Amino acid sequence: MSGGPPIDGLETAVYRFPTPQPEADGTLTWDATVAVVVALHAGEKTGLGWTYSSAAAASVIHDKLADAVTGCGAFDVAGGWSAMHRACRNLGTRGLVTQAISAVDIAWWDLEARLLNVPLTALMGQVRTEVPVYGSGGFTTLTDEQLADQVAKWQSAGCAAMKIKIGEAGGTRVYRDLTRVQQLRDLAGPDVELMVDANGAYSTGQARRVGTELDQLSVAWFEEPVSSDDTAGLANLKAALNCDIAAGEYAADLYEIGHLLPVVDCLQLDVTRCGGYTGWLRGAALAQAHNLDVSAHCAPALHATVAAAIPNFRHLEWFTDHARLEPLLVDGAPKPVNGAIRPNTDQPGHGMQISDSAAEWCIG
């Protein structure tokens, strides 16, 4: 395969989707989700990618990445990824920069598949036809009725696992955390796998005490019980608790993933934060070498294809905010049926394009 037609254009657009009301987890409050979208052009085709980030990611794309990718062969995604990474050395290649690279990388894979006129599933390979999703939301700001509404939506989507936020107010409301987990059990019934996410709100000792209670409630998944930077704390909890310890949503590269692999029971990876499809596939291979599953963090529409391409996949997060906004942003976003989504296998690329109605949320 040649390098393909040269990349000859790149545009960004920024969309802001307000949440219905302010939402919170254990360590953050927010009232909107910002999607930074990339359109990448070559050979009269356009690839589409995006990240969930800040408008600042669009500045990184224009200031640093556009020059690095222009003129590259459209079939040379790996070369382009390295060129983008090199171009950002002095900015630091993690966090915001990786989110920017992720959006371009995703657009690039989509562009290559569209140029070849094949679905992205054909380019990446496919080890499964369905990608299981779990319901996720359960913000600490929800009323009991709002939580019940979310659970009802996940039930009608057929989700076999459901996750809520705990660690409310920086881990200062443990009694309410545990009461809400019991509420989730009552709403979801005995057969649903319960998952919780503390977003790093607890100290290690506190997380161990909460985790002991969670084990009594048959909770299967305890995400970021302490900060994911605290690998010693995660190791302590992994040894002490029955529930799976999970982390990885902020991992930007193989070094960060490598630090987490010994201290988690399941690795989370996010295509919008770990270097796009290229970074995600590499991270998943590294996890496989440690006999670990990968769970896809948020961005369900973007993960559908790549999640179908790896053998060591557990589930994909059907995150309330993203599940609401992705059908507003793009046409062709997958919908869950019987607890799973199906990646696109008939349209070229990932099969999604910006929706006409998305203009309403465009801010730049």
Q: For binding to Mg ion (CB under 5 A), which residues are involved?
A: 197, 249
Cβ-based nearer residue to Mg ion, 112 or 197: 197
Angle made by CA atoms 24, 102, 264, in degrees to the nearest 5: 60
Question: What is the bridge-based pairing of β-strands 45-52 and 29-42?
Answer: antiparallel
- Residue closer to Mg ion by CB (options 248, 334) is 248
Phi, psi of 334 (to 5 degrees): -70, 155
In the complex with Mg ion, the residue whose CB is nearer, 177 or 197, is: 197
Nearest approach, Cβ of residue 197 and Mg ion (Å):
4
Phi, psi of 129 (to 5 degrees): -95, -20
Q: Which is nearer to Mg ion, 250 or 361 (CB)?
A: 250
Whose CB is nearest to Mg ion?
A: 197
Residues 6+ apart with CB under 8 A from 304: 131, 316, 334, 341, 342, 343, 344, 350
State the first-to-last Cα distance of the chain, in angstroms, to the nearest integer. Answer: 37
Cα distance between residue 151 and residue 160, in whole Å: 11
Beta bridge partners of 9: 41
DSSP letter at 44?
T
Residues 6+ apart with CB under 8 A from 187: 147, 148, 151
- Rounded distance between C-alpha atoms, residue 84 and residue 51, angstroms: 16
Output 197 or 293, the one with its CB closest to Mg ion: 197
CA dist., res. 260 & res. 268, Å (int): 10
Q: How far is the CB of 291 from Mg ion (least distance, A)?
A: 23
Which residue lies nearer to Mg ion by CB, 197 or 321?
197
Instruction: Report, in Å, the least distance between residue 9 CB and Mg ion.
Output: 35
Contact call for residues 271 and 284 (beta carbons, < 8 A): no
In the complex, the smallest distance separating the C-beta of residue 64 from Mg ion, rounded to whole angstroms, is: 28
Give CA angle at 207 (323, 285), nearest 5°. 55
Q: Which is nearer to Mg ion, 199 or 305 (CB)?
A: 199
Closest distance of CB 335 from Mg ion, Å: 23
Q: How far is the CB of 306 from Mg ion (least distance, A)?
A: 19
Task: Report the nearest approach of Mg ion to the CB of residue 279 (Å).
Answer: 18
Give the shortest CB-125-to-Mg ion separation in angstroms. 28
User: What angle in degrees, to the nearest 10, is found between the helix axes of 96-116 and 77-87?
Assistant: 160
Residue 207 CB, shortest distance to Mg ion, in Å, is 14
Q: Judged by CB, which is closer to Mg ion: 230, or 249?
A: 249
| Residue 310 to residue 79: CA distance in whole angstroms | 22
| Rounded CA separation 32/298 (Å) | 15
Q: Which is nearer to Mg ion, 249 or 321 (CB)?
A: 249
Q: Using alpha carbons, list the distances in angstroms from residue 165 to 95, 183, 233, 321.
A: 23, 13, 19, 13
